[in-house]
A = this chain, B = another copy of it.
């Protein structure tokens, strides 16, 4: 099979056209000279975690931000990297495929060719397995020819495993050493970038000269924080899913007799479901974050849907479309508790057949109440990140089943007088994941690939490539790099008796911010969407003309330019320093002292690590483990 990797293949006419497309570079990356400006040393997003993180990552914690600027930028401290010795770089796809991944490799190769033509780029075959086994393919422009702007990870294949155990980490280190790699670029989501941070730390500790770089590529869109606005693949996934959801909405409105329950792939967080809702305006979406925040039970959710069905029936509407994120099931308190019990028993090697008898009375009652198909799915072994196998649990069927039962009950009792409730269930995930990437994802991935080269050239280790200002045109994108350690958080689990377990620092999936603008936008429209069938059809993914340059709604409504604002703050501080130079008037100094004392007081209070003393974080890590940025 390996011999097939990187093989040229026949492309369809549309694929050929797409392979001819060349993404634009933002001005800061154009030409052969790029400046690097280093910002202040970074800290952890939650100060309470800082000590733990610095203990786990002594070599890579606290490194400064890096900004890449055009050669002509007038920034006093920015360095121009002038030495470009030939480098050997390895690149590996980790975790689930996400549209656009191939373009990261293309961007990296192009940057290498521009700056150091003699360099070598090695792709690892089959992800982490290939890394351990040192199976590589040298990436050339010829090999990339039929993979540019194309979907999937089939150029190299992807990992089926993490890089986490001592054996795996050692194998990775040996591979980098044996292959004399100057850098290893890891393309993946939260789990893979946590691995990247760990590898970087281990390499630094063991004096392995290979620098590790992470690239945020995940269709879930949940690798989001101050530094990272969006992930490669999310845009495409949401567009393809929205196309299908819109088609189903049109279908519902034409047939007028079905409720469609659609579950969307996207792991624990509900970013995909929220974005698709804002693109296609289905009647209803139930976000995992809302359910967890309001502690809604399975029965609350069922009732909520039934009430909606009933309200629509009163307007003689017997159709509808309801979106459910795949993470929903874990966000329901009693189901989460049940899953935790099941997973604990599975880890104790209790066989699936015997689990039911060993559950707590409360969980056992819930478990016995559930229909057989879902019981079987809940009994599946958890994923490597300890979450349930979300893609295998048919929450849409469970809810359709419960809603049908409740509507039949209401019908019998005479509290509902409409027509019989009919549901059709769908799971949209795999059919979007292999799509041709959207223009946005092609551009974003290609630019990230370029940035990864500049991170390597600057000799940085344990950094993630970042682009800010994504909602604007490419020529306004700001490119940089942030230490992955500055994105890590620590989970604390209360055990009820005051005892506290502190987890290992990791990147945790960012959940939908219930105070954010995107969620607010949903709130403003929810009733209209529910009752008025304002279905919107963005149509199939286009590469030219209307819609081709559309960006995610959730990206555009949020004001995310954190990196820009950090720079702005630096400018203010510099300005104060330049105004209040020794020799300035007493009055100016006095004013400055007074104002600055007040600013520092306020900020000290705001950023004191109060939360470190109590396990204030929810017991549902789905939700609260990751702070909302």
Residues of A within 8 A of B (CB): 1-2, 4, 9-18, 93, 96-97, 126, 150-154, 157-158, 160, 240, 243-244, 246-257, 260, 315-317, 372-373, 424, 426, 428, 430-436, 533-547, 550
Chain B residues contacting A434 (CB-CB under 8 Å) are: 246-252, 254
Nearest residue, chain B, Cβ from A241: B431
A288–chain B nearest beta-carbon distance, Å = 22
Chain B residues contacting A249 (CB-CB under 8 Å) are: 434
Chain B residues contacting A11 (CB-CB under 8 Å) are: 537
Can you list 24 A-B pairs, Cβ within 8 angstroms, ordered by A? A1-B256, A9-B535, A10-B536, A12-B537, A13-B547, A14-B537, A17-B546, A97-B251, A152-B250, A157-B256, A158-B254, A158-B255, A243-B435, A246-B434, A247-B432, A247-B433, A248-B434, A249-B434, A251-B433, A251-B434, A260-B430, A372-B372, A424-B430, A436-B537
Nearest residue, chain B, Cβ from A432: B247
Chain B residues contacting A4 (CB-CB under 8 Å) are: 533
Which residue of the partner chain, among B126, B150, B534, B542, contacts A14 with CB atoms under 8 Å? B542
Nearest residue, chain B, Cβ from A542: B14
Give 6 closest A-B pairs by Cβ, nearest first.
A250-B434, A13-B546, A152-B250, A251-B434, A247-B434, A14-B539
Nearest residue, chain B, Cβ from A96: B255
Q: How far is the CA of A108 from the CA of B616 in the complex (A)?
A: 67
Chain B residues contacting A535 (CB-CB under 8 Å) are: 9
Q: How far is the CA of A538 from the CA of B547 in the complex (A)?
A: 19
A52–chain B nearest beta-carbon distance, Å = 35
Nearest residue, chain B, Cβ from A251: B434
Q: Quick check: A254 and B154 within 8 Å, CB to CB?
A: yes
Q: Quick check: A247 and B17 within 8 Å, CB to CB?
A: no
Chain B residues contacting A432 (CB-CB under 8 Å) are: 247
Nearest residue, chain B, Cβ from A538: B12
Q: Quick check: A539 and B254 within 8 Å, CB to CB?
A: no
Nearest residue, chain B, Cβ from A13: B546
A316–chain B nearest beta-carbon distance, Å = 4
Known contacts A1-B315, A154-B254, A373-B373; is A18 also within 8 Å of B539 by CB?
Answer: yes
Main secondary structure of the interface of A (DSSP, over half): loop
Q: Quick check: A247 and B240 within 8 Å, CB to CB?
A: yes
Known: A10-B534, A150-B250, A160-B255. 18 other contacts (CB 8 A): A1-B317, A14-B537, A17-B546, A18-B539, A97-B250, A97-B255, A151-B250, A157-B256, A160-B256, A240-B540, A247-B432, A251-B434, A372-B372, A426-B430, A426-B431, A539-B541, A540-B542, A544-B544
Chain B residues contacting A251 (CB-CB under 8 Å) are: 97, 152, 430-431, 433-434
A506–chain B nearest beta-carbon distance, Å = 24
Q: Quick check: B254 and A157 within 8 Å, CB to CB?
A: yes
Q: Quick check: B545 and A151 within 8 Å, CB to CB?
A: no
Q: How far is the CA of A541 from the CA of B538 in the complex (A)?
A: 12
Q: Quick check: A14 and B240 within 8 Å, CB to CB?
A: no
| Residue from the set A14, A244, A254 with the largest chain B CB neighbour count within 10 Å | A254
Nearest residue, chain B, Cβ from A431: B244
Q: How far is the CA of A535 from the CA of B317 in the complex (A)?
A: 42
Which residue of the partner chain, among B126, B154, B534, B540, contacts A541 with CB atoms under 8 Å? B540
Chain B residues contacting A372 (CB-CB under 8 Å) are: 372
A559–chain B nearest beta-carbon distance, Å = 24
Chain B residues contacting A543 (CB-CB under 8 Å) are: 542, 545
Nearest residue, chain B, Cβ from A17: B546
Q: Quick check: A539 and B1 within 8 Å, CB to CB?
A: no
Q: Quick check: B436 and A540 within 8 Å, CB to CB?
A: yes
Chain B residues contacting A153 (CB-CB under 8 Å) are: 254-255
Nearest residue, chain B, Cβ from A315: B1
| Residue from the set A153, A252, A542 with the largest chain B CB neighbour count within 10 Å | A542
Q: How far is the CA of A535 from the CA of B436 in the complex (A)?
A: 13
Q: Quick check: B537 and A248 within 8 Å, CB to CB?
A: no
Nearest residue, chain B, Cβ from A159: B255
Q: How far is the CA of A4 from the CA of B252 in the complex (A)?
A: 14
A513–chain B nearest beta-carbon distance, Å = 26
Chain B residues contacting A426 (CB-CB under 8 Å) are: 430-431
Known contacts A424-B430, A537-B436, A545-B17; is A254 also within 8 Å of B12 by CB?
Answer: no
